[in-house]
Structure 1
Amino acid sequence: MSIVHIKIPEVIQIKPQVFADDRGFFFESYNHQKFAQETGIIANFVQDNHSCSKQNVLRGLHYQIQQPQGKLIRCVAGTIFDVAVDIRKSSATFGKWVSYELSAENKYLMWIPPGFAHGFLVLSEVAEVLYKTTDYYAPQGDRTILWNDPDLGIDWPVSATPILSAKDQAGKPLRTAEVFD
């Protein structure tokens, strides 16, 4: 695997080694020992999540103020524009964001540590996203930052009005959101 750091060093893109031939392909999507050795991150994943969304669905920007989750994300069908926003007030990159395109074709993964809000936009007709989390879902601590907060200035590649849940429509701007110290 190769590791790519862009703009925010704690958020990383992982490019797995893919073995392909005329039969198809094989790759390790996760190996605890190699992940720790290559990234320096010791993560204890406790939950796997799987979502399926249609084109122009935008999910996020989600985080948990209680039981913050690190997430290892990959897209197994279709293509998404994946975004992480640093919401740690004490961080030099507070309020900054980073994005990667994840797809079934490129097989890249994205590590988003605790202390970040996460969201994605579906670019293909349909996308299926799998992600591991380092803590359990805690509905009492679930929070959402407004996806189009002008203070963040995320350059979402929207081609139509995004399809949002009621929860995501009610997201708060970063300046009024409950964040990490």
Structure 2
Amino acid sequence: MLPLPEDSASLVGEEARDTAVRRLQEAYAEGLISHEELDERLDQVLTAEAQGELVSALASLPAEPTHTTSTIAAAGGRIKRRGAWRVPRILKVESAYGRVRLDLSRAVIEHPVVDIELQLGTGAARITVPRDAVVDVEGLHTGWKDLRYEPPRRPRPGGPTIRISGAMGFGRLKIRHARR
């Protein structure tokens, strides 16, 4: 085993780097930084070796609210959210087996970007997004079954960006845009 450097506590971990990248992307999406500034700061974050370099890349950004992450978890059974429910900035959904139904069509979405992190074993999942939402599924890994999503033919501008990431084992994920 290699000895750790004396200042190993200040080394940048992947989770800290990922969090910094996400914060910069959110700041750009909210119009807090320009495209050029985003590029410069991302380069600084991606090449950072010490925590201090991450701190300086995020220095002028507003503090990240602590209440914007929620987790819905169930070992089995159903997870269901619909109607006028408040969608947090980051929603983690964890289920070993069972169905997941998230309907965001009438939900209160206060953030321009919403991350939905799925950790699903077996069972199907269905997510209904607002008509004007932009859906990003690049961070999602599916196992046995597949993902069913067709972007709208004529997207409407101005809606939230819904980023879906995580992993699914043996279930199918179906994403659709609300009809109204």
Higher RCO by CA contacts (8 Å cutoff, separation 6 or greater) = 1
Q: How would you bin the TM-score normalised by the shorter chain?
A: under 0.3
Which is richer in strand?
1
Which is higher, the Rg of structure 1 or of structure 2?
2
More helix by share: 2
State the TM-score, normalizing by the size of structure 2.
0.25
